Amino acid sequence: MSAASVAPTAGGVTQVVGSVVANDPVGAYRHLVISAPGVAELASPGQFVALAVGGPTSATLLRRCFSLHRVDAGRGTVEVVIAAHGPGTTWLTQVRVGDPVDVVAPLGQPFPLPAEPTACVLVGGGYGSAPLFWLAQALRERGCHVELVLGAATRDRLFGVDLADGTTDGVTVTTDDGSAGHRGWVSDVLGDVITRAGATEVFACGPMAMLKSVTDVAAAHAAVAHVAVEESMACGVGVCMTCVLPITTQDGVTKMLRSCVDGPVFRGDSVRWDAFANGICHVPADTVGAPRAGGH
What value does the mean pLDDT of the chain take? Answer: 92
Per-residue pLDDT reduced to its tens digit, 76-86: 999 999 999 88
Cis-peptide, bond into residue 264, ω within 30° of zero: yes
Q: At residue 1, does pLDDT exceed 60?
A: no
> What mean pLDDT is predicted for residues 148-175?
94
Helix (H) or strand (E) holding 216: helix 208-220
How high is the pLDDT of residue 190?
98
How high is the pLDDT of residue 6?
60
Per-residue pLDDT reduced to its tens digit, 183-214: 999 999 999 999 999 999 999 999 999 999 99
Helix (H) or strand (E) holding 197: helix 186-197
> What mean pLDDT is predicted for residues 62-84?
95
> Strand runs (DSSP E) across 131-270, as ranges?
145-152, 170-175, 182-183, 201-205, 224-228, 244-248, 254-258, 265-267
> What mean pLDDT is predicted for residues 153-165?
92
Per-residue pLDDT reduced to its tens digit, 44-61: 999 999 999 987 777 788
Max Cα distance, the chain (Å): 59
Question: What whole-number distance in Å separates Cα of residue 104 and Cα of residue 90?
Answer: 19
Per-residue pLDDT reduced to its tens digit, 76-132: 999 999 999 888 999 999 999 999 999 999 999 999 999 999 999 999 999 999 999
Calculate what percentage of the chain has a pLDDT beyond 90: 79
- pTM (two decimals): 0.93
